[in-house]
Amino acid sequence: GAVVSQHPSRVICKSGTSVKIECRSLDFQATTMFWYRQFPKQSLMLMATSNEGSKATYEQGVEKDKFLINHASLTLSTLTVTSAHPEDSSFYICSAKKSGRGYEQYFGPGTRLTVT
């Protein structure tokens, strides 16, 4: 199998606080993990590519100081939304690619973030 978990599934936080979302590959090693965001009625938009042991690569328009990504092990990547604001409210979903194995991505179930 190839199971990816994401925690928490839902989080509500106050404006100005930081929120950390975890993405774990449960039964495989993932050198590369991806973080996506989805606004209502829009497609999944890639925010950043996270590589174990190195700095994440951010897509154009995504603030790296606001969305901190850490990929400290082969099974865990975290996304921290710092100083969250209501416009950061969205659905965040991660995926993981098996180390050295083609291009297939395995997705977590996503995190619904609401900033009040």
Partner 1 sequence: ILNVEQSPQSLHVQEGDSTNFTCSFPSSNFYALHWYRWETAKSPEALFVMTLNGDEKKKGRISATLNTKEGYSYLYIKGSQPEDSATYLCAFMGWDGTSGTYKYIFGTGTRLKVLA
Q: Which residues bind partner 1 (CB under 8 A)?
A: 4, 34, 36, 41-46, 60, 93, 102-110
Query: Buried (b) or exposed (e) across 62-82, using 16+ Cβ within 10 A?
Result: beeeebbbebeebbbbbbebe
Q: How far is the CB of 62 from partner 1 (least distance, A)?
A: 13
The least distance separating partner 1 from the CB of residue 56, rounded to whole angstroms, comes to: 14
65 alpha-carbon distance from chain centroid: 15
Instruction: Pick the closer one to partner 1 by CB: 8 or 109.
Output: 109
Task: Pick between residue 1 and residue 86 the one whose CB is nearest to partner 1.
Answer: 1
Q: Which is nearer to partner 1, 14 or 41 (CB)?
A: 41
Tokens of 15: 């404006």
Please name which of 57, 53, 54, 48 lies closest in space to residue 21, comparing C-alpha atoms. 48
